[in-house]
A and B are shown apart, each in its own frame.
Chain A
Amino acid sequence: MRARYLFVLALAAVPAAALDHADPIALNAAAIEALRADDLKTAEILLARAKRLAPGDSRLAKTRAALAAKRAGENVVLEAPPIPAAGAPATPASTAIAREPPPLWPAR
């Protein structure tokens, strides 16, 4: 239970860890984290929202099955969801005007 409270606390205290609330992939990842923290209610709500958005997504079905198993008292081991790519900052295109290139070779 302590983990659950810590999870909730973390969610409230670290809002900057933004969640795309309508992205099924992100919702699934958040639901898995909630399951790992035994916060089944949060997982249920997030998965229900994700399913509403992407009813055919196989990953959601897998997580929902894990939720059902947890509710049934089974010991479910869930791997931590992959951390979404931080999105490597795009290298800004150089605005310097390059010098004239050598002449173009004729086509062959």
Chain B
Amino acid sequence: MKRAAAALLLAGACAAFEVFAAGDAEVAAFLERAQFWQARNRDDLARDEIEKALRVSPEHPDALAMQARMQLHANQDKEAAATLERLRKANPQHEAVGPLSAALRIRGPDKDKLRRARQFSGVGRNDEAVKAFDALFPDGFPDDDIALEYANILGGTKAGWDKARAQLTELAKRHPGDARFQVALASHLARRQPVPPAVIAQLKELAKNPENSVSRTATESWRRAVTNMEPGDEAVAALRDYIAGNPGETAATDRLAEVTKILAEDKRQRNDPGLKAKREGMEAFKAERTDEADKLLQQAVALYPKDADAVGWLGLVRLRQGRHDEAHELFTRAASLEPRAESKARAKWEDLGRTARFWGLLAQAGSARDAGKLEVAEARAKEARALDPKEPAATAALARIYLAAGRDKDAEALLAELSPEARQQVAASLEDMRASRLRDEGRRLRDAGRDAEAIAAMEKAAAVDRDDPWLRHDLARLYAKRGDPARGDALFEELAKRQPERADVRYAQALYLSSTARDLEALAVLEDIRPADRTDGMTSLQRRLWFSVQGRRASALAAAGKPEEASRVLESMKASAGADVDLLLQVARVLRSLDRHADLEALLGTIDAGRVSTTAQEAEVAEMKAALSRRRVDLLMDQRDYAAAKPLVEAALAANPNDPNVLGDATRLAMREGRVDDAVAYERRALAGDAGEGDAWRYRRLSELLDREVDWYATGLDWLYRSGTKGKSQMSAQEIPLGFRQGWTRDGQWLLKAAPAHVASGTLDLQDSFETSTFGTLLLCQPNCGNVPLVASETGLALGVGYEKDAWRADLGSSPIGFPVVNVVGGVAHSGYLGPMSYTLDLSRRALPSSQLSYAGVKDPNTGRTWGGVVTNGLRLNVSRDSGGDYGAWGVAGLYRLTGRNVQDNDKAELMAGIYRRFINEDDQLMTAGLSTMFWRFSENAGEYTFGHGGYYSPKAYRSVSLPVTYGVRTPLMSLWARASVSVAWSESRRAPFFPTDSALQAQAEAMAPATGVDPFYSGGSNGRSFGRSFAAAGERQIAPGVFFGGRIEIERSTNYTPSRFLLYFRFTPCEPAARPVALPPEPGLPGFQY
């Protein structure tokens, strides 16, 4: 207290000096001297100086204040109180009045209060102590000692550190030479970590202070500062420094050992993979890098399966991942691993385990509810509710389950059990739940195809939840699906009108419009969304729609004949797509649809070089590339550049051996190269398994290939009849051909034919002098020919063998053996393509079945010589252009020499051409009409029946035009076909001698002319115009899997040509069922049917 009084006195002296420095100079001088003595502990001399001052100015406030302080210092409390009174009277506002009053109070009536305040501080109740001091000294502290005491106490409170620092800093500044103030400030600063090194250094210095209280305080603060430092190298150094200055200090020594141990453990942990994984896993979890945390903590648990923290934190990962059951198991395990049963850590894991269990049960309840297992869902929700009755989530989940079960009242009752706040929270979603139930029901019905019921359910849901744009989206799409998009439009218009700012409404509306192929309108709707509200999904949709609209514009521009504008749009698309592969693929699809293959190829190269990130993108790029490759193959094959196409096909086949498109190309190539077996194998591979919906065209191709692979046989009756003069131009010929066509082999196919044949022309009327004079040489024996032997019919057997390989065909055979004239017949033919046209070039020698004379040859009854048996030798070119479309055209050109035994050689040129239009062009029905023209020219007239003539029609010139109409129809097992034609022809005949091959006979005939009255020449000249008509009908029926029965009748009527033909046939394959149906038009399709 004495020290406090001295301090008070000194403070007052300082104040007085400052006041009077500018006032009464004499008083000031006395007071200055008083201060001088007082500072040197000479209170007696100081009092003398004060007395002198009061004598000069008895009521001088500063002198009175200084005197009162001196009196307090001398424990003269009564005198001090009197002096204070004088001061109050002299200057009640003097700054010394308060502190002096307080000093007197704590020495008197408030002495116990001060003591009590100090007691609070002594037992660590600093907050109460501060309050007591504040109550004692409302007008300031009596002196700086009390202020220092107060600041020290304040520094020990929770909230007073900063305020105490300010006060201590001020006090230390005011008493720079007083170590008590310096150590107080340094000690205060050392209370809060990290302690600045300068403070520690100051404390170390103050610890050497000779004043015991200062050094003790400094040492304690120094020790506290270094022992509280965070473990580290700095702490080790500071502790060692302290121990060096204070040897034997166990607290510091123990702390040094502890810190050293912690550092060693820390080092060990840093280097331990399991602990490192745990530590990094925890950090990853806190940074919400859950996947990384999962991986690291699993490593930690694997290495330290009994580390409760590692196990528990892995549980936290599982909890965040929603894997509640696993989280619960891990938390339970972590709790059991905690060594102390009552530890906070164990309680924490157990609490988390309950949380995981709670949410796990709710998740199970939700899943069971969604799966329709409402009983299970209810049980789980109740279990969760029992686990944490206060958590409204369980009650809400249970209410949802009741709603799903249609137990609305139970749900309501459940909600009533909740607190008002929770009820409000849960009940707010009650309507949502009802709407959700109806919406789910609607979607379920929609997915089941029950659209009308789905609409009804969704309409109810929309009435409950009027703000759900996605519900409206589903409903609007159903309206549109049922043909009422306007109703769907109205749904969105109403919602958008009520809530124009909602971006999700516009988004849902745009999706709906896009689903109804109104992309441009969808784009306009998206424009209403403010840029700040645009989500990734909206942006993605806008960009996709933009590309879609632009793609259609490009297509439309190209279709409108504006390729340059289309190109500009496409270029803008490419530029806008950037590196977005999905958008680039949209551009690629447009290019593909426009057949801009070069651009597509370039773009695909760009995409390939970019980042194809998904399997779907990769597959589409690959498919487009494959399509380009196939197109190249198509072009090459169209150009018949099979050599160039082949490596492309083989490469594609090696890369994608089971790709149906590639196999299709391989099939085409194999067919072109005549590799039927390979073609079948490719198609079989492409069509493995059950037949697919889009494979019909492949099966058609396969059927043709399969039927080429099998042997075919045929037989029938072929009957040709021509009315005319009996014994001459009349003819009735029958053949019963037996034909065989070998199935395809790599070495080619053989064809065999054997045809018993019979031909008859009737018996010449020998009584008719005209007819007899124009047959054989009967003119020369007129009228005494008598009963010459006339042969009216002949029988024989035609044989033939043929060979086919690839585009070549050759055959060799004979006209019927047994006929008077037997000819070797045969030919070589080659088929191929000339640009878009197909052709067949045929070099052949064929029998000419125009009459018995031309076909079989006849023995002249007068001379016994045989003549006739004409063969046509020549070259014939058939060309055709028919791609199966509506129009077709054909042409034939031929040059022939017709020869026969004792028959005038004759040269023939023919040109024929026709066009036709298919008015019905279906697989099972066809109708065509056309125009055909024909031109023949023969060098000789050899068409008569006298010796040396051939008995076949051989005009000098023949021109005709015909209009054929055909109709055909096919059912599953039968085909019918008919053709009718009308024609007009102009012809001209050459004058011809009776016996062109025998000049002697001709001379004899000419010599006999006066007697016979017959000029032995056939007159030539124009035959004028003639009209003709023809009709043909055919039918075929499949009567067994490998057997077909067919027939054909042909009737032709014109002025000089009236043949009729009737054909019945069977064709069959004995090994396999036929793969192709009945032919349309019906055709025997085998050798041996030659008429």
Residues of B514-573 at the interface with A, using a CB-CB cut-off of 8 Å, are 520, 523-524, 526-527, 534, 536, 539, 542-543, 545-546, 549-550, 552-553, 555-557, 559-560
Instruction: Let me know if B924 and A18 touch, CB within 8 A.
Output: yes
Residue on A nearest B583 in the bound complex, by CB: A107
Query: Which of A12, A15, A94 has the most B CB atoms < 10 Å from its CB?
Result: A15
Contacts of A59 on B, CB cut-off 8 Å?
690-691
Instruction: Let me know if A93 and B691 touch, CB within 8 A.
Output: no
Check A49/B1041 contact, CB under 8 A, given A54-B699, A93-B555: yes
Chain B nearest CB: distance from A41 CB in Å? 8
Residues of A1-28 at the interface with B, using a CB-CB cut-off of 8 Å, are 11-12, 15-16, 18-26
Chain A nearest CB: distance from B159 CB in Å? 49
Check A52/B1072 contact, CB under 8 A, given A42-B973, A98-B553, A107-B539: yes
Instruction: Let me know if A12 and B974 touch, CB within 8 A.
Output: yes
Instruction: Let me know if B556 and A11 touch, CB within 8 A.
Output: no
In the complex, A86 has a CB within 8 A of chain B: no
Instruction: Let me know if A104 and B543 touch, CB within 8 A.
Output: yes
Chain A nearest CB: distance from B365 CB in Å? 37
Taking a contact as CB atoms closer than 8 A, the residue among A42, A102, A104 that contacts B972 in the complex is A42
Contacts of A58 on B, CB cut-off 8 Å?
690
Chain B: interface residue total (CB-CB under 8 A): 56
Q: Give A20 to B555 CA distance when docked, in angstroms.
A: 34
Instruction: Let me know if A51 and B1073 touch, CB within 8 A.
Output: yes
Check A22/B691 contact, CB under 8 A, given A45-B973, A46-B972, A52-B1075: no
Contacts of B973 on A, CB cut-off 8 Å?
11, 42, 45-46
Taking a contact as CB atoms closer than 8 A, the residue among A12, A19, A26, A96 that contacts B556 in the complex is A96
Residues of B555-600 at the interface with A, using a CB-CB cut-off of 8 Å, are 555-557, 559-560, 576, 578, 580
In the complex, B342 has a CB within 8 A of chain A: no
Residues of B470-527 at the interface with A, using a CB-CB cut-off of 8 Å, are 520, 523-524, 526-527
In the complex, A37 has a CB within 8 A of chain B: no
Taking a contact as CB atoms closer than 8 A, the residue among A18, A56, A93, A100 that contacts B690 in the complex is A56
Check A104/B699 contact, CB under 8 A, given A15-B970, A22-B1075, A49-B1077: no
Q: Give A25 to B550 CA distance when docked, in angstroms.
A: 40
Residue on A nearest B976 in the bound complex, by CB: A12
Residue on A nearest B974 in the bound complex, by CB: A12
Check A102/B524 contact, CB under 8 A, given A24-B699, A30-B972, A97-B556: yes
- A60-99 near B? 1/0 per residue, CB < 8 Å: 0000000000000000000000000000000001111111
Residue on B nearest A84 in the bound complex, by CB: B693
Check A57/B696 contact, CB under 8 A, given A15-B924, A102-B524, A105-B543: no
Instruction: Let me know if A97 and B557 touch, CB within 8 A.
Output: yes
Chain A nearest CB: distance from B586 CB in Å? 12
Residue on B nearest A101 in the bound complex, by CB: B549
Contacts of A40 on B, CB cut-off 8 Å?
none
Check A18/B922 contact, CB under 8 A, given A11-B972, A49-B1075, A97-B560: yes
Taking a contact as CB atoms closer than 8 A, the residue among A15, A49, A93, A107 that contacts B1073 in the complex is A49
Contacts of A11 on B, CB cut-off 8 Å?
971-974
Chain A nearest CB: distance from B480 CB in Å? 14
Residue on B nearest A26 in the bound complex, by CB: B696
In the complex, B703 has a CB within 8 A of chain A: yes
Chain A nearest CB: distance from B813 CB in Å? 33
Chain A nearest CB: distance from B564 CB in Å? 14
Instruction: Let me know if B552 and A48 touch, CB within 8 A.
Output: no
Check A23/B699 contact, CB under 8 A, given A12-B974, A52-B706, A54-B691: yes
Residue on B nearest A56 in the bound complex, by CB: B689
Chain B nearest CB: distance from A26 CB in Å? 7
Q: Give A50 to B523 CA distance when docked, in angstroms.
A: 51
Residue on B nearest A21 in the bound complex, by CB: B1077
In the complex, B923 has a CB within 8 A of chain A: yes
Check A15/B696 contact, CB under 8 A, given A24-B691, A102-B527, A105-B542: no
Residue on A nearest B1038 in the bound complex, by CB: A45
Q: Give A95 to B555 CA distance when docked, in angstroms.
A: 8
Contacts of A102 on B, CB cut-off 8 Å?
523-524, 526-527, 546
Instruction: Let me know if A53 and B690 touch, CB within 8 A.
Output: no
Chain A nearest CB: distance from B59 CB in Å? 87
Residues of B786-803 at the interface with A, using a CB-CB cut-off of 8 Å, are none
Instruction: Let me know if B576 and A104 touch, CB within 8 A.
Output: yes
Q: Give A106 to B1075 CA distance when docked, in angstroms.
A: 59
Taking a contact as CB atoms closer than 8 A, the residue among B556, B706, B974 that contacts A95 in the complex is B556
In the complex, B688 has a CB within 8 A of chain A: yes
In the complex, B702 has a CB within 8 A of chain A: yes
Contacts of A105 on B, CB cut-off 8 Å?
526, 534, 539, 542-543, 546
Chain A: interface residue total (CB-CB under 8 A): 43
Taking a contact as CB atoms closer than 8 A, the residue among B520, B922, B924 that contacts A101 in the complex is B520
- B1047-1091 near A? 1/0 per residue, CB < 8 Å: 000000000000000000000000011111100000000000000
Query: Which of A16, A45, A100, A108 has the most B CB atoms < 10 Å from its CB?
Result: A45
Contacts of A24 on B, CB cut-off 8 Å?
691, 699
In the complex, B785 has a CB within 8 A of chain A: no
Contacts of B702 on A, CB cut-off 8 Å?
22, 53
Contacts of B1075 on A, CB cut-off 8 Å?
22, 49, 52-53
Query: Which of B527, B696, B702 has the most A CB atoms < 10 Å from its CB?
Result: B696
Chain A nearest CB: distance from B706 CB in Å? 6
Check A54/B696 contact, CB under 8 A, given A12-B974, A98-B553: no
Residues of B680-699 at the interface with A, using a CB-CB cut-off of 8 Å, are 687-691, 693, 695-696, 699
Instruction: Let me know if A22 and B690 touch, CB within 8 A.
Output: no
Instruction: Let me know if A98 and B556 touch, CB within 8 A.
Output: yes
Residue on B nearest A49 in the bound complex, by CB: B1073
Chain A nearest CB: distance from B260 CB in Å? 55
Contacts of B922 on A, CB cut-off 8 Å?
16, 18
Check A22/B527 contact, CB under 8 A, given A15-B924, A105-B539: no
Instruction: Let me know if A25 and B693 touch, CB within 8 A.
Output: yes
Q: Give A108 to B690 CA distance when docked, in angstroms.
A: 46
Q: Give A7 to B641 CA distance when docked, in angstroms.
A: 49
In the complex, B700 has a CB within 8 A of chain A: yes
In the complex, B1012 has a CB within 8 A of chain A: no
Q: Give A23 to B687 CA distance when docked, in angstroms.
A: 11
Instruction: Let me know if B691 and A57 touch, CB within 8 A.
Output: yes
In the complex, B422 has a CB within 8 A of chain A: no
Q: Give A52 to B702 CA distance when docked, in angstroms.
A: 10
Query: Which of A12, A26, A54 has the most B CB atoms < 10 Å from its CB?
Result: A54
Q: Give A37 to B838 CA distance when docked, in angstroms.
A: 44
Instruction: Let me know if B691 and A25 touch, CB within 8 A.
Output: yes
Q: Give A11 to B973 CA distance when docked, in angstroms.
A: 9
Instruction: Let me know if B539 and A15 touch, CB within 8 A.
Output: no
Contacts of B974 on A, CB cut-off 8 Å?
11-12
Contacts of A16 on B, CB cut-off 8 Å?
922, 924-925
Chain A nearest CB: distance from B726 CB in Å? 42
Residue on B nearest A91 in the bound complex, by CB: B517
Q: Give A99 to B550 CA distance when docked, in angstroms.
A: 9
Taking a contact as CB atoms closer than 8 A, the residue among A18, A94, A97, A100 that contacts B923 in the complex is A18
Q: Give A22 to B550 CA distance when docked, in angstroms.
A: 42
Instruction: Let me know if B699 and A19 touch, CB within 8 A.
Output: no
Chain A nearest CB: distance from B710 CB in Å? 10
Chain B nearest CB: distance from A28 CB in Å? 8
Residue on A nearest B545 in the bound complex, by CB: A101
In the complex, B969 has a CB within 8 A of chain A: yes
Instruction: Let me know if A12 and B690 touch, CB within 8 A.
Output: no
* Chain A residues near B (Cβ < 8 Å): 11-12, 15-16, 18-26, 30, 42, 44-46, 48-49, 51-54, 56-59, 93-102, 104-108
Which 10 residue pairs across A and B have the least CB separation, nearest first?
Answer: A48-B1041, A21-B1077, A48-B1073, A23-B696, A24-B691, A22-B703, A11-B971, A22-B700, A97-B556, A22-B699
7 residue pairs bridging A and B, Cβ less than 8 Å apart = A15-B924, A24-B691, A25-B693, A49-B1073, A52-B706, A101-B523, A105-B534
User: Can you add 9 more A-B contacts, CB < 8 Å, to A22-B1077, A24-B699?
Assistant: A16-B922, A53-B687, A58-B690, A59-B691, A93-B552, A100-B553, A101-B523, A102-B526, A105-B534
